[in-house]
């Protein structure tokens, strides 16, 4: 905290002070735009002509400060709050008001490529830790005055800035009110990351499934806003939240829309398939090898039996050991700096796997299963979903250990039932498959051509349902028609 | 669509139709070809025609009843029509029917599991685990169950029909002959009796007031019946065409055994019948949930309780006990036959009866 | 909207109770074990089963005192089990040892023998991958009904298991190690699966055989014979009233399959009449068969129409180019050949075996239900006098890449 005191307007002037928090303000602005005019220019030009104190004060307020954003406050608490947020407080002796001068400027990470959601085709910018930068990234994408950004502070002590973003003429007001209501209900001392918020506002916190979508990508948020969803940006974190979230939306990547539709659809199908594999593959291994070998083709069954010959553990132990090892590797790889992390991956994956097989601790088919499962789980675009399914994988493995294939199906049914009970801000988690909305299937397992998706998702009940003129002709058709003439 | 967003405990007509189909497709469908062939011989594949007509009549009267008493389930209107005591008796019969039907389904299902997937696992474990897990969605009311049913329907019915498609090359259509050799009366009678095994129709007794667009409920349930009978038609026809009359009557569950005969060069899965049995697990699950829901909702309404879900776990031991009661497969079959007759009474006769009495006694709304 | 997550602690309580219930459930089944879990390496995969009849003098079972002595057949069951550790890929596998274990045991019923073998092998005998069931000649003559019942009832066994009758002893067929396959059972199974390449053997699996057997007690089953070095699969065995009554050669089998409408391929070769030693070979690509029954009083006539389509694969006639004449000759001659084959097989069936395994009765019942009701009781006599109108038409479609 820095207190800079001086006397403003020479001998017959006033005592004045600038208060600001070191490191949160831009020193150049203070030196050049605040102190210089107040110390020298005021002295030279105006002060002796000033007759009343009031006039002098107004002159300072209106004409002396060459910064864009200033504000008067009378309450002590407010000024302290703004001081903590990086404003410069300007006090003049004899006036019961503080002038708040916007000179925020702190060291921050620049806009870099998001590391959790990398894509091949698409913008490279990701959110950073500064809220205003982040809102600007959205605003740059949507130049519509209907894009509303409302800022509130949450957290008794942290007073974290939360920005609520929505398209006023698209978003369903009920959802919006619901979001606002839940945000206002939060009573906590700190919001350090949007993960805190997420857990406070989600519908069912006992569920393993994320009911709020977290993303680092501004294009993802912009697309979400245009679908009628509500974005929540939190200061000090690059992770924005999008609500409502459905399983479908969590399985999508913004890149799907940037590629040609066939490719986008193909990658989506791959992704769903990968997710399914990641969920059931180890449990299927357990069920098929120790319960139903009749389901495996004869030659494969024999070679699995041959590969397990001499392995001391039952198949489920084998699976738990290997899956546990993979989880260990993954966690270790995340915590270590990236070059070492890769080494850990190679050492763990290749050497331990190979050694385990040759030491007859696990069968080679098991190693293939585990590797395939691990790769599949990394194909899921949203980390939160991937980890939820990873957790449920162990549940299914337990079910398979006791009841075989029947256990797996029963486990899948209970997971499905659970998803059927979930709602995210009133939207069913399994939309658009269930409740069945045929028109929304265009953007689910497959991604239809953009021209075919003329309407926004119907389950969002948007105010403005149309993305484009529904009756418009296909541009391709139109061009061909003109060529014919 | 907007209504969907907020209304809890409401289902769309489409969801009603899906629920009807899913609930009816239980283990009974696999024995259906045998029981029908026992009744009418090679004409059994024609039963869906009269069956559809009779079940349509039942559905029609159920929908009319619900229109006479808008917003009321059968628990309320049967008491209004028949008087408090007889009405209550009827309601209790129906609830007992649901409880015992779900026990019957569970038992048949567990028997199938024991001969197809889990040979040595005690039947109690299979029944108990299914019952316990199926109770979970039933607690959350009708909406999640409708959601569940849709996904289950979209996954299992195509898989089942896909597997059936592999059987078709073996079909010998001579096995479907002769037809109409015994006159139409036998067929009509069998069609009427077959209505008793369509548990899905009974959903209408309770679910009609939960529909978002009541005007469409008749249309939706007609569609459900059409889909249902088409599936039964395919299963019956294909099974009969492949096995022939005698073998169908010899097999315990021709609808299951038939998948074992699929002759395909080995795919990724050697035994498709296990996959087929696995899809049955998924099909049984919502049926059991639904019966638990129906029984608990009706009981709650009968006793004037506000919440149905507190009744679900108390119901499970009853069903469990009923399910493990029969000593062997033959006994289960006898019970199934008996329940089918009760089903004929509840679905085939009662709706018309209730409707006529309501009209005579001038109960209910104006139209 | 009600904020369920905040407002109701009931919700939480219920969930907690549910979780508790789940945990209890898991503990319960965990404590009592997992009944069906048998590790894949603890199972002995039975690939093939061969069953023979033990000659009466060799049976050692004494009648239980005080009970009516039952004249019981004693079976000799042989199973083929692959030794997985000998397989390529397994540690320490060597190609010198036998890749399969062929183990036999005797007993009065299949279940009993199965238990004995399980005991001796110290592994779970697992029938889920059984490929063949070979029944010895002597046993087949006694009747196959008691044998099949076990495999029909046993849920592990697939309905696709091939049902084969062996000439002489069945166990010998499993003892031979085929050159290009790891087990005799797999070899026999695969040959039968490729039945459509030649149509000279009948692909009889338990599922289909049982449909026919239960309908009439008659069936055509595949025939297998163990020679010195290899297993010969070809021709068929005739089962009447569940008993073996005779054999059909390969050509006869094909003729029978024409009647049954099951020919899907194979080669038919004829002499080219235009020159000494000239031959024309036709590869069958598709066959259509239509049977229509006609009934007049007690006279039953079946119209059998067979339409064969195929390609000429060899033509060693006088002029090597396939001419219009060649095609016509091939079409006519092959038609005559097949017709004669069919005639002779049906008359053989009528005269020699007196058994209706083409299920003409079934056809009659389906198409002429009223006549069938009249004739049903006397069908066995009537069948012997059934007349046939056979019409075989052949269409040559292609003849390779040269003219």
Residue C17 has pLDDT above 80, yes or no: no
Nearest CA in chain A to C185: A298
The verdict on A179 and A92 lying in the same domain is no
The verdict on A87 and A183 lying in the same domain is no
The verdict on A96 and A155 lying in the same domain is no
- Cβ–Cβ of A304/C40 closer than 8 Å? yes
Domain housing A293: 260-421
Nearest CA in chain A to B266: A297
The interface predicted TM-score (ipTM) is 0.91
More confident residue, C181 or B65: B65
The verdict on A213 and A298 lying in the same domain is no
Average pLDDT, chain C: 79
CA distances from C386 to C220, C302, C363, C364, C389 (A): 20, 7, 13, 12, 10
- Our CA-based measurement puts residue B103 at a distance from the nearest CA of chain C, in whole angstroms, of 20
Asked if residue A255 is part of any domain, the answer here is no
Q: How many CB pairs under 8 A join A and B?
A: 115
Residue C71 has pLDDT above 70, yes or no: no
Asked if residue B3 is part of any domain, the answer here is no
- Our CA-based measurement puts residue A290 at a distance from the nearest CA of chain C, in whole angstroms, of 4
Asked if residue A266 is part of any domain, the answer here is yes
| Lowest pLDDT segment from A315-324, B12-21, C319-328 | C319-328
The verdict on A303 and A412 lying in the same domain is yes
> Mean per-residue pLDDT for A323-328?
87
Residue C3 has pLDDT above 90, yes or no: no
CA distances from A117 to A132, A192, A219, B147, B165 (A): 22, 21, 12, 31, 42
Least CB–CB distance from C40: residue in A301, A398, A404: A301
Any B CB within 8 A of C25 CB: yes
- Our CA-based measurement puts residue C119 at a distance from the nearest CA of chain B, in whole angstroms, of 18
The verdict on A44 and A158 lying in the same domain is no
> Mean per-residue pLDDT for B94-112?
91
Helix (H, G, I), strand (E, B) or coil at A362: coil
- Cβ–Cβ of B274/A413 closer than 8 Å? no
The C-alpha atoms of residue B268 and residue C82 are separated, in whole angstroms, by 21
Nearest to B357 by CA among B87, B31, B160: B87
Least CB–CB distance from C40: residue in A204, A205, A305: A305
3-state DSSP percent of chain B in helix, strand and coil, to 5 = 80, 0, 20
C contact chains, 3+ CB pairs < 8 A:
A, B
Asked if residue B127 is part of any domain, the answer here is yes
More confident residue, A13 or A243: A243
Nearest CA in chain B to C160: B261
What confidence category does residue A470 fall into, taking pLDDT thresholds of 50, 70 and 90? confident
Helix (H, G, I), strand (E, B) or coil at C104: strand
Residue A413 has pLDDT above 90, yes or no: yes
The C-alpha atoms of residue A236 and residue A260 are separated, in whole angstroms, by 36
Ordered DSSP codes for A386-453: HHHHHHHHHHHHHHHHHHHHHHHHHHHHHHHHHHHH-EETTEETTTTTTTT-GGGGGBTTSB--GGG-
Any B CB within 8 A of C1 CB: yes
Residue C84 has pLDDT above 60, yes or no: yes
Residue B2 has pLDDT above 50, yes or no: no
- C122 backbone φψ class: left, alpha, beta (φ>0; ψ -120 to 50): left
- Our CA-based measurement puts residue B150 at a distance from the nearest CA of chain A, in whole angstroms, of 6
Nearest CA in chain C to A177: C1
The verdict on A19 and A52 lying in the same domain is yes
At B265 the pLDDT is 66
Any A CB within 8 A of B132 CB: no
Give me the percent of chain A exceeding a pLDDT of 90.
26
Residues in A touching C85 (Cβ below 8 Å):
306, 309-310
More confident residue, A349 or B227: B227
Question: Looking at A245, A272, A305, which one is the last position of a domain?
Answer: A245
Query: Any idea which fold C257-398 has?
Result: GMP Synthetase; Chain A, domain 3 (3.30.300)
Q: How many domains does chain A have?
A: 3
Residues in A touching B274 (Cβ below 8 Å):
292, 294-295, 405
At A230 the pLDDT is 93
The full length of chain C comes to 403
Residues contacting C361, CB < 8 A, separation 6+: C216, C372, C376, C379, C383
Read off the pLDDT of residues A455-464 as tens digits, 9 standing for 90 and up.
888 888 888 8
Chain C interface, best mutation among B127, B263, B313, by max C CB count within 10 A: B263
φ/ψ of C306, rounded to 5, equals -125, 125
**CB B231, CB B163: distance < 8 Å:** no
- Burial call B19-36: b when 16+ CB within 10 Å, e when fewer: bbbbbbbbbbbbbbbbbb
Read off the pLDDT of residues B269-282 as tens digits, 9 standing for 90 and up.
778 888 888 888 89
Domain housing B60: 12-360
The verdict on A204 and A266 lying in the same domain is no
The verdict on A178 and A321 lying in the same domain is no
The C-alpha atoms of residue C54 and residue C59 are separated, in whole angstroms, by 7
Nearest CA in chain A to C13: A206
**CB C399, CB C312: distance < 8 Å:** yes
Asked if residue B1 is part of any domain, the answer here is no
Torsion angle of alpha carbons C212, C216, C217, C220, nearest 10°?
A: -50
What confidence category does residue A98 fall into, taking pLDDT thresholds of 50, 70 and 90? confident
More confident residue, C74 or A405: A405
Residue A50 has pLDDT above 70, yes or no: no
The ranges assigned to domains in chain C are 40-58+71-87+97-248, 257-398
Residue B352 has pLDDT above 80, yes or no: yes
Any C CB within 8 A of B136 CB: yes
Any C CB within 8 A of B129 CB: yes
Asked if residue A252 is part of any domain, the answer here is no
Asked if residue A253 is part of any domain, the answer here is no
Residue C99 has pLDDT above 90, yes or no: no
Radius of gyration in angstroms for the set of CA atoms belonging to chain B, rounded to a whole number: 20
Chain B interface, best mutation among C365, C367, C370, by max B CB count within 10 A: C365
- Cβ–Cβ of C208/B261 closer than 8 Å? yes
Any B CB within 8 A of A63 CB: no
**CB C109, CB C75: distance < 8 Å:** yes
Residue A485 has pLDDT above 60, yes or no: no
Which runs of E-coded beta strand occur in C275-386?
Answer: 279-296, 299-315
**CB B285, CB B23: distance < 8 Å:** no
Any B CB within 8 A of C130 CB: no
More confident residue, C34 or C236: C236
Read off the pLDDT of residues C285-343 as tens digits, 9 standing for 90 and up.
888 888 888 888 778 888 888 888 888 888 776 666 777 777 888 888 888 888 888 88
- Cβ–Cβ of C207/B261 closer than 8 Å? yes
Any A CB within 8 A of C41 CB: yes
Residue B357 has pLDDT above 60, yes or no: yes
What confidence category does residue A225 fall into, taking pLDDT thresholds of 50, 70 and 90? very high
Any C CB within 8 A of A142 CB: no
Residues in A touching B22 (Cβ below 8 Å):
none
Q: How many helices (H) and strands (E) does chain C have?
A: 13, 14
Question: Looking at A245, A280, A313, which one is the last position of a domain?
Answer: A245
At C66 the pLDDT is 62
Residue C63 has pLDDT above 60, yes or no: no
Question: Looking at A245, A274, A308, which one is the last position of a domain?
Answer: A245
The C-alpha atoms of residue A243 and residue A257 are separated, in whole angstroms, by 20
What confidence category does residue B103 fall into, taking pLDDT thresholds of 50, 70 and 90? very high
Helix (H, G, I), strand (E, B) or coil at B226: helix
Average pLDDT, chain B: 85
The verdict on A234 and A264 lying in the same domain is no
- Cβ–Cβ of A294/B270 closer than 8 Å? yes
- Cβ–Cβ of A203/C84 closer than 8 Å? no
Read off the pLDDT of residues A279-313 as tens digits, 9 standing for 90 and up.
999 999 999 998 888 888 888 888 888 888 888 88
Any C CB within 8 A of B331 CB: no
At A165 the pLDDT is 94
Residue B367 has pLDDT above 50, yes or no: no
- Residue C62 burial by CB count (10 A; 0-12/13-18/19+): exposed, middle or buried? exposed
At A348 the pLDDT is 76
At A279 the pLDDT is 92
More confident residue, A485 or A402: A402
Q: How many domains does chain B have?
A: 1
The C-alpha atoms of residue B127 and residue B145 are separated, in whole angstroms, by 20
> Mean per-residue pLDDT for A213-225?
92
Residues contacting A416, CB < 8 A, separation 6+: B148, B151, B152
- DSSP-derived pairing of the beta strands A160-167 and A147-154: antiparallel
Q: Which residues sit opposite A73 in a β-bridge?
A: A98
Average pLDDT, chain A: 86
What CATH code is carried by the domain that includes residue B330? 1.20.1740.10
More confident residue, C318 or A182: A182
Q: How many CB pairs under 8 A join B and C?
A: 71
| Lowest pLDDT segment from A120-124, A398-402, C351-355 | C351-355
Handedness of CA C157, C162, C163, C166 (dihedral sign): negative
- Our CA-based measurement puts residue A294 at a distance from the nearest CA of chain C, in whole angstroms, of 5
Residue A46 has pLDDT above 70, yes or no: no
> How many Cα atoms within 13 Å fall on the side-chain side of residue C38?
17
Q: Which residues sit opposite C235 in a β-bridge?
A: C201
Residues in B touching A412 (Cβ below 8 Å):
282
More confident residue, B111 or C381: B111
């Amino acid at each position: 905290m820095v207190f800079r005191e001086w006397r403003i307007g020479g001998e017959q002037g006033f005592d004045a002070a600038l208060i600001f928090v070191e490191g949160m303000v831009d020193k150049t602005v203070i030196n050049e735009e605040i102190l210089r005019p107040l110390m020298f220019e005021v002295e030279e030009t105006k002060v002796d002509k000033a007759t009343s104190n009031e006039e002098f004060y107004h002159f300072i307020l209106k004409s002396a400060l060459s910064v864009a954003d200033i504000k008067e406050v009378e309450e002590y608490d407010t000024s302290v709050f703004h001081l903590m947020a990086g404003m410069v407080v300007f006090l003049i002796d004899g006036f019961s008001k503080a002038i708040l001068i916007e000179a925020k400027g702190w060291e921050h990470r620049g806009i870099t490529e998001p590391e959790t959601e990398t894509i091949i085709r698409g913008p490279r910018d990701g959110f950073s830790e500064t809220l205003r930068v982040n809102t600007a990234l959205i605003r740059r994408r949507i130049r519509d005055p209907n894009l509303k950004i409302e800022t509130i502070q949450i957290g008794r002590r942290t007073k974290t800035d939360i920005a609520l973003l929505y398209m006023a003429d698209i978003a369903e007001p009920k959802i919006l009110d619901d979001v606002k209501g839940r945000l206002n209900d939060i009573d906590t001392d700190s919001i350090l990351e949007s993960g805190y918020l997420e857990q406070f506002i989600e519908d069912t916190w006992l569920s393993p499934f994320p009911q709020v979508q977290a993303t680092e990508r501004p294009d993802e948020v912009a697309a979400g806003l245009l679908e009628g969803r509500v974005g929540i940006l939190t200061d000090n974190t690059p992770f924005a939240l999008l609500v409502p979230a459905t399983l479908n939306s969590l399985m999508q990547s913004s890149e799907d829309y940037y590629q040609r539709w066939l490719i986008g659809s193909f990658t989506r199908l791959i992704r769903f398939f990968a997710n399914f594999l990641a969920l059931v593959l180890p449990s299927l291994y357990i069920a098929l090898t120790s319960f139903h070998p009749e389901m495996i083709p004869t030659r494969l069954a024999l070679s699995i039996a041959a590969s397990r010959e001499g392995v001391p553990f039952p198949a489920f132990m084998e699976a738990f050991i290997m899956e546990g090892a993979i989880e260990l590797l993954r966690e270790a790889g995340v915590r270590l700096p990236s070059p070492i992390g890769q080494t850990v991956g190679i050492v763990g994956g290749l050497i331990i796997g190979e050694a385990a097989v040759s030491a007859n601790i696990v069968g080679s088919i098991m190693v293939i299963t585990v590797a395939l499962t691990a790769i599949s789980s990394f194909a899921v675009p949203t980390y939160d979903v991937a980890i939820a399914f990873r957790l449920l994988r162990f549940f299914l493995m337990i079910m398979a250990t006791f009841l075989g294939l029947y256990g797996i199906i029963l486990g899948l049914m209970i997971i499905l039932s659970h998803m059927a009970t979930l709602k995210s801000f009133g939207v069913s988690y399994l939309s658009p498959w269930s409740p069945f909305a045929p028109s929304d299937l265009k953007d689910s397992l497959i991604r239809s051509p953009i021209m075919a998706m003329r309407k926004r998702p119907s389950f969002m009940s948007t105010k403005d349902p149309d993305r484009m003129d529904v009756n418009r002709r296909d541009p391709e058709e139109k061009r061909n028609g003109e060529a014919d003439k | 669509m907007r209504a969907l967003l907020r209304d809890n405990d409401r289902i769309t007509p489409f969801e009603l139709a899906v629920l009807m189909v899913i609930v009816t497709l239980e283990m009974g469908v696999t024995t259906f070809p045998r029981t029908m062939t026992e009744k009418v011989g090679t004409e059994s594949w024609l039963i869906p025609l009269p069956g559809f007509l009779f079940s349509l009549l039942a559905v029609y009267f159920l929908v009319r009843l619900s229109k006479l008493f808008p917003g009321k389930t059968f628990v309320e209107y049967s008491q209004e029509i028949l008087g408090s005591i007889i009405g209550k008796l009827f309601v209790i019969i129906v609830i007992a029917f649901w409880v015992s039907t779900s026990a019957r389904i569970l038992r048949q299902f567990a028997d199938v599991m024991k001969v197809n997937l889990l040979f040595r696992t005690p039947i109690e474990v299979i029944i108990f685990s299914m019952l316990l897990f199926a109770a979970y969605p039933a607690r959350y009311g009708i909406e999640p169950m409708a959601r569940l049913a849709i996904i289950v329907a979209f996954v299992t019915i195509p898989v089942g029909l896909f597997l059936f498609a592999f059987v078709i090359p073996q079909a010998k259509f001579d096995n479907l002959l002769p037809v109409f050799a015994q006159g139409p009366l036998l067929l009509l009678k069998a069609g009427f009796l077959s209505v008793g095994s369509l548990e899905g129709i009974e959903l209408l007794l309770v679910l009609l007031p939960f529909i978002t667009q009541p005007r469409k409920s008749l249309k939706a349930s007609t569609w459900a019946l059409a889909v249902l009978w088409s599936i039964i038609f395919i299963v019956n026809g294909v099974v009969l065409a492949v096995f022939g009359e005698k073998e169908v009557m010899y097999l315990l569950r021709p609808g299951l055994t038939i998948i074992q005969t699929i002759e395909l060069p080995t795919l990724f899965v050697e035994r498709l019948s296990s996959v087929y049995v696995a899809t049955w697990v998924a099909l049984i699950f919502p049926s059991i949930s639904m019966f638990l829901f129906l029984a608990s909702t009706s009981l709650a309404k009968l006793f004037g309780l506000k919440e149905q879900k507190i009744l679900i776990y108390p119901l499970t031991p009853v069903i469990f006990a009923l399910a493990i009661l029969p000593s062997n497969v033959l006994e289960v079959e006898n019970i199934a036959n008996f329940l089918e007759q009760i089903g004929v009474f509840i679905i085939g006769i009662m709706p018309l009866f209730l409707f006529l009495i309501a009209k005579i006694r001038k109960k209910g709304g104006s139209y | 909207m009600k904020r369920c997550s905040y407002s109701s602690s009931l919700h939480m309580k219920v969930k907690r109770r549910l979780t508790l219930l789940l945990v209890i459930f898991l503990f319960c089944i965990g404590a009592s074990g997992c009944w069906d879990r048998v590790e894949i390496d603890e199972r002995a995969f039975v690939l093939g089963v061969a069953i023979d009849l033990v000659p009466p003098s060799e049976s050692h079972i004494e009648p239980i005192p005080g009970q009516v002595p039952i004249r019981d057949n004693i079976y000799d069951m042989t199973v083929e089990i692959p030794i997985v550790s000998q397989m390529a890929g397994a540690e320490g596998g060597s190609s010198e040892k036998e890749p399969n274990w062929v183990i036999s045991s005797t007993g009065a019923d299949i279940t009993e023998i199965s238990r004995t073998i399980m005991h001796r092998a110290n592994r779970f005998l697992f029938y889920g991958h059984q490929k063949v069931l070979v029944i010895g000649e002597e046993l087949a003559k006694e009747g196959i009904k008691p044998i099949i019942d076990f495999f029909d009832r046993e849920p592990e066994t697939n309905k696709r298991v091939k049902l084969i009758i062996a000439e002489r002893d069945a166990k010998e067929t499993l003892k031979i190690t085929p050159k290009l396959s790891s087990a005799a059972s797999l070899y026999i199974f695969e040959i039968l699966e490729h039945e459509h390449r030649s149509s000279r053997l009948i692909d009889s699996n338990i599922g289909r055989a049982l449909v026919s057997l239960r309908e009439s007690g008659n069936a055509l089953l595949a025939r297998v014979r163990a020679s010195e070095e290899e297993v010969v699969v070809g021709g068929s065995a005739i089962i009447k009233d569940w008993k073996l009554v005779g054999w059909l050669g390969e050509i006869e089998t094909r003729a029978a399959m024409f009647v049954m409408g099951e020919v899907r391929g194979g080669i038919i070769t004829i002499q080219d009449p235009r020159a000494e030693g000239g031959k024309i070979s036709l590869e069958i690509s598709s066959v259509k068969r239509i049977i229509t029954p006609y009934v007049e009083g007690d006279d039953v006539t079946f119209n059998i129409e067979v339409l064969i389509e195929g390609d000429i694969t060899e033509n060693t006639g006088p002029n090597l180019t396939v001419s219009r004449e060649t095609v016509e000759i091939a079409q006519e001659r092959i038609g005559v050949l097949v017709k004669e084959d069919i005639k002779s097989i049906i008359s053989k069936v009528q005269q020699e075996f007196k058994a209706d395994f083409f299920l003409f009765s079934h056809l009659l019942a389906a198409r002429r239900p009223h006549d069938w009701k009249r004739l049903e009781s006397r069908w066995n006599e009537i069948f012997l006098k059934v007349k046939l109108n056979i019409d075989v038409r052949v269409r040559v479609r292609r003849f390779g890449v040269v003219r």
